Amino acid sequence: LYPEYCSLLPHGRPLPLIPLPSMPREDYIVTIGLEVHCQVDTESKMFCGCRTSFGEEPNTNVCPTCLGLPGALPVLNKKAIEQTILSGLMLDCTTPEISKWDRKNYFYPDMPKNYQISQFDLPLCLGGAVPLYHHNYPKDYQKNIANPGKKIGLTRIHLEEDVAKSTHLPNSSVIDFNRAGTPLMELVSEPEIETPEEAFAYLKTLQQILIYGGISDADMEKGQLRCDVNVSVRPPGQKELGVKIELKNMNSISAVRRALHHEIQRQCDELDAGNQLSQATWRWNDDAGVTEFMRGKEDAHDYRYFPDPDLLPVRSGQIVDRMREHVPELPHEKAARFESDYEITTYDANVLAADRNLADYFEAAAKSSSAKPKKTANWVINTLLKHLNEENLPVADSPVAPARLAGTVDLVEAGTVSNNQAREIFEALWQSPDRDPAEIAKEMGFEPADAGAIEALIDEVLTANPEKVAEIKGGNEKLVNFLTGQVMKASKGKANPKQVTDSLRAKLL
């Protein structure tokens, strides 16, 4: 009760409370931090030789070590350490000269040893940052980005072992230990994310960079990338952060955004009602669109970290020097180079650079084609990607090789076929990828129209459209495209639109 808003009547009944005015959500300061777990792409587990393959029969990729049986000792996975350090190099982290392993003690059915081998005070990577790529914000938000070019700081990247997979049934739970012991990186951000949309962009960008480096496929549907969210709100003027709530059980980047929008509003409503928030872990129910209480939140001291006595510390100097040679050209670097070297638009460069395989495909096609790279980029983005998306194929499985796509673009550039005819050739290539585009064009009867006949059609169209001709000569050059369309219609698609447009402009401008 708020004494300043109520008093007791003589007969003892309280007056109705006058509710405090609600503060708009926009007036609260939102602070978000993300803990991203990423399975490292290795052939064997972190501390044993069991396979890490996905989709095997349950409990078949197991041994005494990853089952936590007495007397089984862990052995470090060299590649997992190298890939984690490579991740740090891509994200501008530093690596301590000595890194060590710790035991994080807790009991869950999916942790057979009752402790997890992890890293506490000397992880493999410290600091660094994740840039928020403009094109990785939600499309409905890209015109309203508050802080373009923002970077989110990283606290650390440490390496640990994954737990088993639990599946909960109506009256029981089953556990598959195939996943237990898989190398797992945890990337912890600084609490510098201010909106759900920034969290969305952070995860998309991080996913891109990890895939670029070959660290992981980072597929959330396969559990290769998982995210826990820490979020708090506080009123303006309050310096200390609000009470931290952790969110779990989000299986997509879009779900993270939805969960944050709901949880931020829930916390604001609680504070508006005069209630206190308690540090806790909540789960996201995506079907219902709400967060649900799980448990009180543990702190670091609850896990009783102490150095693992079975594992020696790692000296990282030589590993860092070796992995520095494997740092790839990152998406933003590749996009900038595409703009500079191939003179394509910023949008096209970002679309092409977003997928490393797509970028490699475009570059191979551009180098094989005599056409301007802009035309090749258009074909890759508008035609190749359309077909790949329709058939749910990755770029690596495209039946049309870069050289075949380049050959199709060259036919258009040479005036042998029109764009519409070239699309028909591409359709034929999609079904018969070993064929030559020029042979397909000849078989389809796509021979260049007689130049004299086309000139005659151009003259006819000019004669039939004197008003349009006058407007073009008066400065309205856009109408040239209208006349080009009329000539193409009269030629039944056989004329080359580029040559028609060039001829029209020569006659009129």
pLDDT tens for each residue of 138-182: 999 999 999 999 999 999 999 999 999 999 899 999 999 999 999
Statement: residue 19 has pLDDT above 80: no
Kindly state the percentage of the chain with pLDDT values over 70. Answer: 93
Q: What is the 3-state secondary structure (H, E, C) of 197-208?
A: HHHHHHHHHHHH
Tell which wins on pLDDT, 319 or 107: 319
Cα distance between residue 458 and residue 289, in whole Å: 61
Rounded average pLDDT over 214-225: 90
Per-residue pLDDT tens over the stretch 39-63: 999 999 999 999 998 889 999 999 9
Given a cut of 80, whether residue 489 has pLDDT beyond it is yes
Tell me the CB-side half-sphere exposure of residue 59, using CA atoms within 13 A.
Answer: 8
**Closest C-alpha among 409, 413, 414 to residue 425:** 409
The predicted-structure confidence for 399-440, as pLDDT tens digits, reads as follows: 999 999 999 999 998 878 888 889 999 999 999 999 999 999
Q: What is the pLDDT of residue 157?
A: 98
Mean pLDDT in residue range 291-317: 86
Q: For residue 21, name the pLDDT band (cuts at 50, 70, 90).
A: very low
Mean pLDDT score of the chain, rounded to an integer? 90
pLDDT tens-digit series, residues 320-341: 999 999 999 999 999 999 999 9
Q: Residues 347-374: pLDDT tens digits?
A: 999 999 999 999 999 999 999 999 999 9
Helix, strand, coil share (%) of the chain residues, nearest 5: 40, 15, 40
pTM of the model: 0.83
Distance CA 90, CA 400 (A): 32
pLDDT top residue among 180 and 106: 180
Strands (E), 225-278: 225-234, 245-248
Strands 306-307 and 102-105: antiparallel
pLDDT recorded at residue 451? 72
- Among all chains, which residue has been given the structure tokens 């052939």? 43
DSSP, res 287: T
Separation of alpha carbons 246 and 156, rounded Å: 18
What pLDDT score does 492 carry?
Answer: 76
pLDDT band for 448, please (50, 70, 90 cuts).
low
Residue 149, Cβ density class (10 Å: 0-12 exposed, 13-18 middle, ≥19 buried): exposed
User: Mean pLDDT: which of 26-30, 224-228, 416-420, 503-507 is highest?
Assistant: 224-228
CA angle 446, 451, 452 (to 5 degrees): 135
Query: What integer pLDDT is reported at residue 354 of this predicted model?
Result: 93
Q: How confident is the model at residue 449 (pLDDT cuts 50, 70, 90)?
A: low
